[in-house]
Amino acid sequence: MKTVFRRTATYKDVPTHYCPGCGHGIVHRLIAEIIDELGIRDRTIGIAPVGCAVLAYNYLDVDMIEVAHGRAPAVATGMKRTNPDKIIFSYQGDGDLAAIGTAEIIHAAHRAEQLTVIFINNAVFGMTGGQMAPTTVLGQVTATTQKGRQTTNEGYPLQVSEVLAVLPGAIYIERCSVHNPAQIRKAKKAIKHAFELQMGGTEGLSLVEVLSSCPTYWRMTPAKAMEWIEKEMTKVFPLGRLKG
Ligand SMILES: Cc1ncc(C[n+]2csc(CCOP(=O)(O)OP(=O)(O)O)c2C)c(N)n1
Ligand code: SF4
Ligand SMILES: [Mg+2]
């Protein structure tokens, strides 16, 4: 019999804590596959976020460090500068990167730090109960926007990738999604490219934003959540390469 699919070595064989239909597990798997394909398992260090992916180190069989909410780019900077041969990536949610950690990511990009950032945009603070995030779309009902997000009170969704793309120190910015197999394949290519840039020693920060489902706090079935990404989220967060 021919094997057509197998668990990649860097992805640990453990039960998942993610909700059914959550995008985090898909992105974890892509990262694990990429690390194995690039043969960098022994020199990669990942930074786990505060958020639902706080347990990323339970799944990825590489050296991982846990840091305070939003501070991953600052810690990654120190790690890369003191260990230039290591491949450093941070994995951050929208609460982590686009709310509490806004200063850290902007300044890391501004300083042209040689880092790979995986930014998971699920339009809510998942871990703490589905509150509004800066990336929550207009009209979206969350725990803190019961009538849907309005510009009058809550402002506009923050397009962090577009903001970062104008900084000269950001060398590669792409927005992807994991709502269907074709998009998952594209996301894998983009994340791989972001790792390869760092491996090649290119100065500057690479960031891949991934639109990712949170069926639990979007109050949808997993199938509806995938549709919602395609129909609603991509209107506000268009897919494609913004820079590099
Ligand atoms: C300094 C600090 N402030 C606030 C919190 C509470 N907190 C934990 S996770 C989180 C938001 C997580 O949202 P996100 O980063 O989007 O990750 P998700 O769970 O959606 O993947 C917040 C506000 C914290 N842990 N530490
Ligand atoms: S709450 Fe949302 S982001 Fe968190 S594990 Fe569940 S589906 Fe995923
Ligand atoms: Mg989130």
- Give CA–CA dist 180/212, Å, rounded: 11
Strands of the 63-66 sheet, one edge to the other = 63-66, 44-48, 87-93, 116-121, 205-211, 170-177, 240-243
pLDDT value of position 32: 98
Residue 203 Cα to ligand 2 middle (Å): 34
Residue 201 Cα to ligand 3 middle (Å): 30
Atom of ligand 2 minimally distant from the CA of 93: 3
- Give CA–CA dist 30/8, Å, rounded: 10
User: Is the C-beta atom of 69 inside 6 A of ligand 1?
Assistant: yes
User: Is the C-beta atom of 52 inside 6 A of ligand 1?
Assistant: yes
Residue 52 Cα to ligand 2 middle (Å): 6
Residues within a 6 A CB radius of ligand 2: 18-19, 22, 24, 52, 122, 126, 214-217
Ion ligand 3 — residues with CB < 5 Å: 93-94, 122, 126
Q: Is 201 left (phi over 0), alpha (psi -120 to 50) or beta?
A: left
Q: Which of 214, 218, 219 to mutate to test the pocket of ligand 2 (most atoms within 8 A of CB)?
A: 214
> How confident is the model over 9-29, as a mean pLDDT?
98
User: Is the C-beta atom of 135 inside 6 A of ligand 1?
Assistant: no
- Give CA–CA dist 40/190, Å, rounded: 17
Residues 120-159 have pLDDT tens digits of 999 999 999 999 999 999 999 999 999 999 999 999 999 9
Q: What is the DSSP letter of 43?
A: G
H-assigned helices in 86-239: 94-95, 102-110, 151-154, 160-165, 181-199, 215-218, 222-228, 234-236
Distances (CA, A) of 11 to 14, 174, 193: 9, 24, 20
Answer for the pair 142, 217: CB distance below 8 angstroms, yes or no: yes
Residue 66 Cα to ligand 3 middle (Å): 17
Residue 183: CB atoms within 10 Å: 20
What angle (nearest 5°) sits at the alpha carbon of residue 240, between those of residues 209 and 189? Answer: 70
User: Is the C-beta atom of 133 inside 6 A of ligand 1?
Assistant: yes
Q: Which two tokens stand for residue 124?
A: 């809510």
Name the pLDDT band for 118 (thresholds 50, 70, 90): very high
Name the pLDDT band for 241 (thresholds 50, 70, 90): very high
Continuous segment of H or E residues that includes residue 28: helix 24-38
- Which ligand has its closest atom nearest to the C-alpha of 144? 1
pLDDT value of position 94: 98
Name the pLDDT band for 43 (thresholds 50, 70, 90): very high
Tokens 């949808």, located at residue:
220
Residue 121 Cα to ligand 3 middle (Å): 6
φ/ψ (deg, to 5) at 19:
-70, 155
Continuous segment of H or E residues that includes residue 34: helix 24-38
- Give CA–CA dist 36/40, Å, rounded: 7
> How confident is the model over 28-39, as a mean pLDDT?
98
Residue owning the nearest CA to atom 2 of ligand 2: 214
Residue 237 Cα to ligand 3 middle (Å): 14
CB contact set of 159 (below 8 Å; sequence gap of 6+): 236, 237
pLDDT value of position 90: 98
